[in-house]
Structure 1
Amino acid sequence: MSYKQKAFEGISWNFMLRVLAGPIGYGVRMLYANYLPKTEVGLFYAMLDLLSILAVFRGLGVSYSLSVFIPKFKAKNDYKSIKSSVNFVFLFQTAFMLLMVALLLLLSPYVVNNYLNSTGQYTSNLLIAFDAFMIMVVGYFFFEGILNILRNILTGFQKQKYLATIIPSNITSIFLISVILLFLGVNNVFVPVIAYSLVPILLIIIYGYLIFKKVYPEYFSTKSKISKDLSSQLLKFGVPLTLNSATSVILTCIDGVFLTIFTGLIAVAEYRNVATPTVTLLNMAVISISVVLLPIISELWTRDKLKELNYAITNVFKYLMAMTLPLIIFLSYYTSEFITVFFNSSYLPVADAVRVLMASTLLSSINTICFTILVGLGKPQIVTKFLYVGVLVNIILNFLLVPPFGSLGAAITTLISYMIIQVLIGKYIKKNMKLEIKYKESFKLIIIGLLSLIPGILLNNFISLDLWKLLAGSIVYLVTYLMMVFGLKIIDIEEIISLVKK
């Protein structure tokens, strides 16, 4: 299988299954929005944001090293080093996570009183908040870390079909457990807390079996020894990735933390249950591409296949823009209808924040691909420098904008942070890697995306219900956009058909 076919197959599997998981993920948010009080939803996301930020430092990023080192060792048939790497990551990260869990449990009274209840919106139920936080720390934070190791093993072995099923399996299980709990009469924060804490345990059992029985059965028959040199390499590569591997998580979740502190749980519920999931939906394409691109870049660089590498990098931007831009433009226009249909009108106050976050999605997508390129070429430290700047700007602006503007201030902060990061990373890649990003084609796609709105805007004059506006608008928009993109030959449909056949 050629590298072009390998990349196309991997991206296709990831994107297809993420698309299938998208409606289920929104189903989870709809359940929480319509069947749980906003304070309960806000409490859950306040805990999730805090633990997600701490998870960036979980194991100091060594598990992410597996996605780069496994393909390198595999290319040399060095399975001894693969096993040694896996063993070191499991031992080091588990020990590190146990230490973090102990500290979090020790500090839990302070977290509940001074963070989760900072504005006094949950004073009457502090014991519930305390129990929920303990469950999240032990059930979600720890076991999600173990699952992340398995995920990076699959990434390293480039088993995209297995890897692509983790997201839909995860969100489907969360949805089913949440429905069961609601059916049993649970109507507080324990619905999402229990669901998010049980699912990682279930997935560890399933994917642990697949890895050690199907993907890497040689593990049990291979002798290995964890050397000081290998451990040092994994740590040296992994530590800079404590920020690099979770760009969107850090920048988005910091917003949630500041909203919790300055505005309270209701604002957190609106922002995290509606605004940021919309951005996640728009990022499906870029996440699918980056997951596949990282090990391929690493392997191509190791094998000195520069022509194939240049082809992958210079062309991926065009297809990324083609998939992302129409979603951003369409949802920016239909934001109010989208919120009303998929959630309820009580969440409309966050509509402007959603629009701003959509604009930041484009920059976030480009940033993610650029970061993937640099990490795959073994330069995560460069990415770290730019991320430090972005995170610092984000923190400062959150202090300034969240207290007076709430969710809108948090969204503006995210947009400005991504803009600054993109300026820095764009200049570096242009100067040091001499890659040509075809901005002219991206500009054409923006124009096409805007023009594709016209039939839907005209159609809205004859439709009153938000649901029918959204359905009719999406169909007309998609047909118009595809006709223009393929008709003007911005996207080569023959190449796509050829890759699908292969």
Structure 2
Amino acid sequence: MLLGVAITPLLVRILGSESYGEYAFVISAFAIIGTFARAGISAGIRKYIAEDRSERAWKEHVFVFYARLATGLVLLVATILILFGWYGPADRLVGPGFSTYILLLAAMLVTDQLFYVTRYTLMGLHLEKYSEPLSVLKQLLFGIFGLSLAYIGFDVAGALAGTAIASLVCAFVATWMLREHIDITAVFRSLPSEFPQRDLLSFNIFNTVFILLTISLYNVDILLLQPLAGSQQTGLYKAALVVAEFLWIAPQAAQIVFIHSSSELWSRGNLDEISRMASQATRYTLLFTVLIALGIAALASEFMQLYFGPEFDAAVTPLLLLLPGALGFALARPIYAIGQGKGDLRSLIVATGTAAVINLVLNLFLIPRYGMAGAATATSIGYGSMLAFHYIVARRIGYNPISDLRVTRVGFTAAISAPVIFGLAYAIDSSVFSLVVVPPVGFLVYSTLALRTNAIESEEITSILDNAPSPISRWLINGIRYIS
């Protein structure tokens, strides 16, 4: 997160708002096309490797199946892109330079696929201590290579090439780490006849549809805005999206972990523990994201101008429109990840598909009339509907993700904190000073109220901090106990 916060404004300033719009368009296309190339592989690896099956060398066979599937799919998709880049009408249909971008997109897909398989295999083996630092390394390498290449004159192409280089390096590192836990040479040997390839493939097909629908929720607006409103508005809107997606920091982490964690619980039929875990995670997510949303809303203008530059002040309106929906989507993430862990994806597809259709229709209707404000409104409604639909699915498949939500207490905490946060932001004239003062003061007020109202209990926080013993954690524990 911190690397992204540091890299994004540098990339925007190097590229400028128009080129950044082109970059955003390509990255959105990468997300959509990558969904087909990945075919739900990351979720499949985490789900099936985590299952404790009696079959000999089960984990190794799962890795072999997904490594072969991933390689075949990405080579097929990359070949199509290369042919389209060389011979297709991309420059004429989208804009100058897009043929080169498509060729680089093919390279990005191949290197990213290698990293995906190895990283998520490590995660499925509960080796997050290896898999997650690799994501940090990838972001760091993108900052080094992508920014450098863009700065010396390669612009958007340089940033895309930097992404491919970063993924390739991390794929090699992940493979090296994996060799002690999986026999990687097994990819050259046949799978046993009793291995349930059809079951895994069926899960992946449904998961691909589910992920594609999810990805469309936060890419279809960019893909429609570029041809309908131009690169400059797309760049401004992308900046608003980047900031709104700060709300997903915590729920994305929960989403990643819950697929393989809940898969083990589902396999044992432990519905009570699933409900407890889901409701606790939903409440934590609600508390954390409401705090971030209040801070972003109070400091939107100051942050956008300082972070992206004065020309991005126009992105404040779409940012504010996006926040309510981004909050709803944040709450939906851990809920549908637990549903993925169960493996019953039909209900998830119906729920996400309904939200995706709402999002698409509203974007088609509102973008031609209201530009990026219309895109933000449509997307916010689409995001928010995910929470409602996936709550219904959760109840249908047997668990309650809001049994311990404590909505009244969280709402009271937010209602009392908001005037303090907004009033302090309004009272301070200096943009820099307000960005320095308002966040820590707002956090202190909000967290104190959360503890006092029992929106979160001190024991819940200290039990987490106790697992990370250090002088800082002991100091935090003592402070929390004093406040509560």
- Scaled by the length of structure 2, the TM-score of the pair is 0.89
Structure 2 unaligned segments of length 5 or more: list them.
468-484
CA shift digits 1:208-235 (9 cap, x unpaired): 111123xx14555898625475221111
Structure 1 stretch displaced more, 471-480 or 170-179: 170-179
State the distance in 2 between where 1:410 and 1:98 align.
34
Give the corresponding residue for 2:149: 181
Task: Kindly state the Cα deviation for residue 426 of structure 1 after the two structures are TM-superposed.
Answer: 2.1
Give the corresponding residue for 2:379: 414
Give the corresponding residue for 2:40: 61
Give the corresponding residue for 1:98: 75
Give the corresponding residue for 1:132: 101
State the distance in 1 between where 2:272 and 2:185 align.
38
Q: How does 1:237-248 map to 2 (within 5 A)?
A: 237-245=203-211, 248=214
The CA RMSD over aligned residues, in Å, is 2.3
Give the corresponding residue for 1:17: none
Checking the alignment, whether the CA contact within 8 Å between 2:366 and 2:378 is kept in structure 1 is yes
State the distance in 1 between where 2:354 and 2:376 align.
18
State whether structure 2 residue 26 is matched by structure 1 residue 47.
yes
Checking the alignment, whether the CA contact within 8 Å between 1:24 and 1:172 is kept in structure 2 is yes
Give the corresponding residue for 1:230: 196
Instruction: Describe the shift of the 1:23–1:299 C-alpha distance in structure 2 as closer, same or farther (beyond 3 A).
Output: same
Task: Kindly state the Cα deviation for residue 83 of structure 1 after the two structures are TM-superposed.
Answer: 1.8
State whether structure 2 residue 335 is matched by structure 1 residue 370.
yes
State the distance in 1 between where 2:178 and 2:462 align.
32
Give the corresponding residue for 2:163: 196
State the distance in 2 between where 1:149 and 1:401 align.
39
Give the corresponding residue for 2:176: 209
Letter of the 1:410 counterpart? A
State whether structure 2 residue 299 is matched by structure 1 residue 334.
yes
Give the corresponding residue for 2:481: none
Which of 43, 68, 88 is the aligned partner of 2:65? 88
Aligned length: 465
State the distance in 2 between where 1:307 and 1:387 align.
25
Task: Kindly state the Cα deviation for residue 115 of structure 1 after the two structures are TM-superposed.
Answer: 4.4
**Residue aligned with 2:297, SS:** helix
**Residue aligned with 2:384, SS:** helix
Give the corresponding residue for 2:91: 113
Task: Kindly state the Cα deviation for residue 422 of structure 1 after the two structures are TM-superposed.
Answer: 2.9
State the distance in 1 between where 2:335 and 2:393 align.
10
Letter of the 2:170 counterpart? L
Structure 1 unaligned segments of length 5 or more: list them.
1-21, 118-125
Give the corresponding residue for 1:446: 411
CA shift digits 1:253-281 (9 cap, x unpaired): 11111011211111221122x12211332
Task: Kindly state the Cα deviation for residue 343 of structure 1 after the two structures are TM-superposed.
Answer: 1.1
Q: How does 1:303-342 map to 2 (within 5 A)?
A: 303-342=268-307
State the distance in 1 between where 2:360 and 2:451 align.
43
Instruction: Describe the shift of the 1:265–1:478 C-alpha distance in structure 2 as closer, same or farther (beyond 3 A).
Output: same
**Residue aligned with 1:435, SS:** coil
**Residue aligned with 1:186, SS:** helix
Checking the alignment, whether the CA contact within 8 Å between 1:85 and 1:226 is kept in structure 2 is no
Instruction: Describe the shift of the 1:115–1:32 C-alpha distance in structure 2 as closer, same or farther (beyond 3 A).
Output: farther
Give the corresponding residue for 2:440: 475
Checking the alignment, whether the CA contact within 8 Å between 1:59 and 1:94 is kept in structure 2 is no
Structure 1 stretch displaced more, 482-491 or 305-314: 305-314
Checking the alignment, whether the CA contact within 8 Å between 2:271 and 2:399 is kept in structure 1 is no
Checking the alignment, whether the CA contact within 8 Å between 1:335 and 1:351 is kept in structure 2 is yes
CA shift digits 1:469-491 (9 cap, x unpaired): 12211111011011111122221
Checking the alignment, whether the CA contact within 8 Å between 1:62 and 1:234 is kept in structure 2 is no
- Scaled by the length of structure 1, the TM-score of the pair is 0.86
**Residue aligned with 1:489, SS:** coil
CA shift digits 1:302-331 (9 cap, x unpaired): 133343323212221111112111101221
Give the corresponding residue for 1:393: 358
Give the corresponding residue for 1:163: 131
Report 1 or 2 for greater relative contact order, CA contacts < 8 Å, sequence distance ≥ 6. Answer: 1
State the distance in 1 between where 2:315 and 2:223 align.
17
Instruction: Describe the shift of the 1:244–1:79 C-alpha distance in structure 2 as closer, same or farther (beyond 3 A).
Output: farther
Give the corresponding residue for 1:258: 224
Checking the alignment, whether the CA contact within 8 Å between 1:318 and 1:438 is kept in structure 2 is no
Task: Kindly state the Cα deviation for residue 198 of structure 1 after the two structures are TM-superposed.
Answer: 1.0
Instruction: Describe the shift of the 1:424–1:463 C-alpha distance in structure 2 as closer, same or farther (beyond 3 A).
Output: closer
